[in-house]
Amino acid sequence: MIFTALYTMASAENPNHRSANAPSRLAAWLLLGAIFLAVHFASLFTPPLLDDVDASHAEVAQHMDESHDWVTMKLDGIRYLEKPPLPYWLDASFYWVFGQNVFATHLPNTLAILGLTWVAWIWTLRGWGERAALYAALGVLTSIGPFIYTRFAIPEALLSFLLLYALWSFITGLESRHPVRFYGMWAALALATLTKGLIAPVFFAGAAIPLLLLSGQWRRWREMKPVTGVLLYLAIAAPWHILAGIANPDQGHPVGNHPTPGNVHGFWYFYFVNEHFLRFLGRRFPDDYNKLPALVYWFAHVVWLFPWSLFLPALLVVAWRTRHSWMQHLRRDSGQTVDFYLE
């Protein structure tokens, strides 16, 4: 979070400041637990399911729970294969345990927020100590965006948790040189793919590859288990995609302008090409959605990260003043065994 980054870069010039006035771990987690119960857990029961995406996604999970068809999702009897299945699998599983209600529908998002809080804590604790870890966890629990976007059934919170865990496994794998970390990264990426599709590995690569290039760590690519890791990724992510394609060979829009039986693209074209690549390019069929302008999207983060975004100006000032101390890590030779995130 913004305040954590501000605290971290300030600590680069004064290492002794990192442990100053650090709260006890028990007190910090009691505070975080109380906030989680009061804000996120209490909100599991309200508001009721809303129109559009909220109720629609709940109906998909309801059909899965009642039909026991875990491959072909349906909404009001119509196949719904635009999205990957993991969020609906979770909701359907919770319906089986708790019944079909608002609590069970919102529970995956709330647990994802708890997971995000945990990863934010352990990651920041590893690098900068108890006080910074508390700020990072507080940022997750008290920002407006995470709260608003977990009041209805969309997979972004779950995706954020899985991607953050994958990045944490990636960083700690580089530091510890332990292969288990990288297998955790590949498994989390596979689950993220089952949550939101191919955008998950794209987002991960957008963060990991620049780091590897700037730090010179790309020379250690063999340690990341590219062969067995990809096999693990496919073992988790591929089965549903294969089964859905076999079960729905006629899913999708017609080839050309002739909607005759059998003259359709099929599930794999519909899912990977139409719903991923063409949607990104603004050429999805049918053209029935709106795209948020890029400038609005990025500036909206000031709202979603409120109240912590209030520290953004101070963050930019401190980042500039301490640029030599925190950028020097990127210039170090990758052959040296340096935990550049722990210094």
In a domain, 301, yes or no: no
Six-digit token string for 185? 């990264």
> Length of the chain, please?
343
Tell whether 36 is covered by a domain.
yes
- Taken in order 269, 275, 281, 286, is the CA torsion positive or negative? positive
Structure tokens at 234: 């496919």
Q: In whole angstroms, give the CA distance from residue 3 to residue 260.
A: 59
Residue 291, in any domain of the structure:
no
Residues 76-85 have pLDDT tens digits of: 888 888 899 9
User: Nearest CA to 139 among 336, 310, 308?
Assistant: 308
Q: Tell me whether residue 43 is in a domain.
A: yes
Q: Which domain holds residue 34?
A: 1-154+307-343
Q: Considering the domain boundaries, does residue 17 fall inside one?
A: yes
The DSSP secondary structure of 289-335, one letter per residue, reads -----HHHHHHTHHHHTTTGGGGHHHHHHHHHHTHHHHHGGGGS-TT
In a domain, 107, yes or no: yes
Model confidence pLDDT, tens digit, residues 279-326: 777 777 777 667 778 888 888 889 999 999 998 899 889 888 887 776
d(Cα 59, Cα 74) in Å, to the nearest integer? 8
Residue 191: inside a domain, yes or no?
A: no
Euclidean distance between CA atoms 162 and 168, whole angstroms: 10
pLDDT of residue 99: 93
Please count the structural domains in the chain: 1
Segments of the chain with pLDDT less than 50: 1-18, 333-343
Q: Is residue 77 part of a domain?
A: yes
pTM: 0.84
Query: Which pair of tokens denotes residue 221?
Result: 């690519």
pLDDT of 291: 73
